[in-house]
Amino acid sequence: MGIPLFDRESDDIISDSMIALEKSSIKYKIIHEMLPQYTSRQIRQRYLNHLNWRLCKNPLGNEEKAFVIRWITTNQTQTGTIHWKQLILDLNAKFGLLRSENTVKNFWYSRMKQLSRAQARQNVSSAQTVVPFNNGGLAQYSKPVAMEPNFHLNPQMSEPYRMAPHF
């Protein structure tokens, strides 16, 4: 797989710095200055998804999954935007478990993929396709009809074509 992006030493520096800089609004920038090989965004993602000691790394429970589905169904914007940070805060408030953004997103998108595949299997004989929609449900649209050539190329020439010589 290659060399991991973060090593143990970098993880320790990030973890220790996050504890010391917990109240700072520029903590990721400060840590970036200590570890210039990583961007502030990489440091933030590493901490929020892997190093935060408050993270619950167990799989989502059934009640949590149901909560995520309900929350997205009611809070997803008309453009399809899901405010993952707010969802994670609400999950933590309801269940007392801090989940990583990756965990929640992986659950949601794998669920949408499963639903889409299941619907596609049901609609194989019809010309309907199912796609995830912004309210957590599924939208159907008609596939364009495939055009099959219904003609056969049978040239009807009385004699072969010959080029006239150019003088």
What single letter denotes the amino acid at residue 102? N
Question: What mean pLDDT is predicted for residues 64-84?
Answer: 94
62 phi and psi angles, rounded to 5 deg: -60, -40
pLDDT at 121: 82
Q: Answer yes or no: is 12 within a domain.
A: yes
Supply 132's token pair: 């995830």
Q: Which residue has the higher pLDDT, 77 or 126?
A: 77
CA distance 20 to 115: 44
By C-alpha distance, which of 16, 91, 21, 22 is closest to 51? 16
What is the domain range of residue 137? 62-142
89 and 47 assigned to the same domain? no
Total domains, the chain? 2
- DSSP H/E element including 70: helix 62-75
